Amino acid sequence: MGDPAGIGPEVTIRALARLRRRGVILIGSREVLEREQERQGVDVLAGTTVIDPFGRLGRYPAGKIGKRCGSAARAYLEHGAGFLRRGEIGALVTAPVSKAALRLAGFRWPGQTEFLARRLGARRYAMLAWTPAYRAVLVTTHLPLARVARHITPEAVAEKAVLLDRFLRREGFNNPRIAVMALNPHGDEFSCGEEDRIRRGVRLSRRQGVDASGPWPADTVAGRGGFDGFVAMYHDQAMVRAKLARGGVNVTLGLGTVRTAPLHGVAFDIAGRGRASAASMTAAVRLAGRLATRPS
């Protein structure tokens, strides 16, 4: 369910109202979910298993960072990770959380992706921004821009390209073509050596059978045809095009199981107002269901 004070409960109920709910388990506050479905005038909880590992939340303000809501979101995530680890579910869809609230609750990972990788013992994993027409994996995720360059290594670039290639092949691309983005404007023209490391990473991935090329200037290659997937160097480089598309999904690669999430945050500015779009959450649930039926 994500952070109770964000739009997670709203988009969860709204998405489930649009979808077939057979086999769905909800992890979150039954009280909050019941209140949300009543506000929307739907009934999606009848016949749906709801697990509440945190218990009563009490009163809290919508749209505000809070330790108690962060603790609840962490409990929901821990429970879902346990389900995945024990193989009791086919896929996990996580609604948005507030990283600030999680930190107040003692959460020490950068985000849900890194937390799930640790809980599931994944050493090589990646965050993928997915839309029906665009798929981009990130070499670095939630880092200040000043620190990005130092984390771009040939090994990191190759690792993400290989993970993306495996995902695309599962999606039905026989020989996927992957474009690797440059870090700097115009690529080599303003490089401080990063593009050389990216180029070496491309060569490493090609030795592993990946049809990768680059580094390509990011501002032009993302809109080009002829590529099935992209490797981006940092968060916003991948996310701008993905978030402009309606219904983008965050997919975690390399876990050995399926985890998806909507491609947006808690949206505290509109939480509790009934204005949140469930397009991304709906797409995340649909994609999770589809991926769960395919061999890893």
Q: Is the pLDDT of residue 180 over 80?
A: yes
Q: Rounded to 5 degrees, what angle do the CA atoms 208, 253, 1 make?
A: 180
As a whole number of angstroms, the distance between CA 82 and CA 23 comes to: 17
Q: Rounded to 5 degrees, what angle do the CA atoms 4, 242, 280 make?
A: 35
Co-location of 114 and 145 in the same domain: no
Q: What is the pLDDT of residues 15-27, one digit of tens each?
A: 999 998 788 999 9
Alpha-carbon dihedral angle through residues 201, 207, 211, 213, given to the nearest 10 degrees? 30
Co-location of 208 and 115 in the same domain: no
Inter-residue contact 93 to 288 (CB < 8 Å)? yes
**Domain coverage including residue 226:** 133-244
Co-location of 108 and 207 in the same domain: no
pLDDT at position 295 is 65
Half-sphere exposure of 22 (CA within 13 A, CB side): 1
**Is 0.85 topped by the overall pTM?**
yes
| Mean pLDDT, residues 154-182 taken together | 97
Q: Is residue 47 part of a domain?
A: yes
Q: Is residue 38 part of a domain?
A: yes
Helices of type H across the chain: 8-18, 30-40, 67-85, 99-104, 112-120, 145-148, 154-170, 194-207, 218-221, 235-244, 279-292
Co-location of 31 and 116 in the same domain: yes
**How high does pLDDT run on average in the chain?**
95
Q: What is the pLDDT of residues 207-248, one digit of tens each?
A: 999 999 999 999 999 778 899 999 999 999 999 999 888 889
Q: What is the CATH number of the domain that holds 150?
A: 3.40.50.10750
Q: Is residue 92 part of a domain?
A: yes
Q: Is residue 127 part of a domain?
A: no
Q: Is residue 254 part of a domain?
A: no
